[in-house]
Amino acid sequence: MHLKRHSVISGFLLLTVLGSTSASYADELPAPIQALADQGLEIHGQFEAPGGLRGYGASVQGQEMAIYLTPDGEHAVMGTLMDSEGNDLTEAQLAEHVRAPLEAQTWQLLSESHWIQDGDVDAPRVIYTFTDANCPYCRQFWQETRPWVDAGEVQLRHIMVGILAPDSPGKAAAILGADDPAATLHAHESGQEEIEASAQPREIEEQVYANNQLFEELGLYATPTSVFQRGTENGNVRIERIQGMPSDERMIDMMGSEAP
């Protein structure tokens, strides 16, 4: 986007820092930016900005924001940078310097959670889905995804959680602790055999607890919630999530194609 010579800042917080603050990062941050980091903001990266400003992408508790350092290096403004025609100069920077790294971090957390493989391990499309054994929509989702999974086009990774009913944690633990978790989940979701809650080793119960924690930390509220990657027109990879049972249109969007 072409930058106009005259820009205005729509900000909601102005900080003036007197003195210096030691940085806790490999590259020392300017004092106003370090002060915000000390207050709990996570600084993700620096970007160029017009008018002699320096931009920083940041987030706190999942809320993304841009910080602009004034040319004197002594003040920081948080908000949206607009040019003289009212164009938003911040949105694209947030997408590159905040959302992209946060989404990469989320994808990594999903990969490190406690999930059950459903489908060909070499399937080209990976979808993480939070599954509660007491969730009828999880069972419907499992059934409706069979064409893509059975064709080897999609692999689902079921992150077992226990949130819907008092016995949900015990059922999740019973599936994760089974001799063959994938076969046990298959039997349960297909209706062949209902899983019963049962006591499991502490390690398995802690896996369910960790999955529940991840569900809450991501701000989710419904099962199934499915997370998948999507390529953008500019070649970047973004992630999307669908909470609840997806519509037919969104199902095709998530699976990447019509049903085989």
Give the angle 54-47-234 at the CA atoms, nearest 5°. 155
| pLDDT given at position 1 | 30
**Domain annotation for the chain: domains and CATH numbers:** 7-89 (3.10.450.70), 110-255 (3.40.30.10)
Measured CA to CA, the distance from residue 185 to residue 199 in angstroms comes to 17
Residues whose CB is less than 8 angstroms from the CB of residue 21 and which lie 6 or more positions away in sequence, other chains included: 31, 34, 35, 38
| pLDDT given at position 238 | 83
Q: How far are the Cα atoms of 50, 152, 169 from residue 155, in angstroms, in the given order?
A: 45, 7, 24
CA 44 to chain centre: 15
Consecutive 10-residue averages of pLDDT for the chain (260 residues) = 34 33 54 92 89 90 86 92 90 83 89 97 97 97 97 97 97 98 97 94 97 93 94 77 94 94
| pLDDT given at position 147 | 97
Task: Choose among 98, 108, 153, 144: nearest CA to 128.
Answer: 108
Most distant pair of Cα atoms in the chain: their distance: 69
3-state secondary structure of 260: coil
Count of all residues that appear for the chain in the document: 260
Measured CA to CA, the distance from residue 214 to residue 61 in angstroms comes to 14
Q: DSSP assignment, residue 28? A: P
Report strand pairing: 154-161 vs 125-132: parallel
Give start and end residues of each alpha helix (H) in the chain: 31-38, 91-94, 100-111, 136-144, 146-150, 168-176, 181-189, 202-217, 248-255
Measured CA to CA, the distance from residue 260 to residue 252 in angstroms comes to 11
The pair of structure tokens assigned to 200 is: 């499991």
Tens-digit pLDDT profile for residues 75-101: 999 999 998 999 988 888 888 888 888
Q: Is the C-alpha dihedral spanning 251, 253, 256, 259 positive or negative?
A: positive
Tens-digit pLDDT profile for residues 207-224: 999 999 999 988 899 999
Task: Choose among 65, 70, 117, 71: nearest CA to 95.
Answer: 65
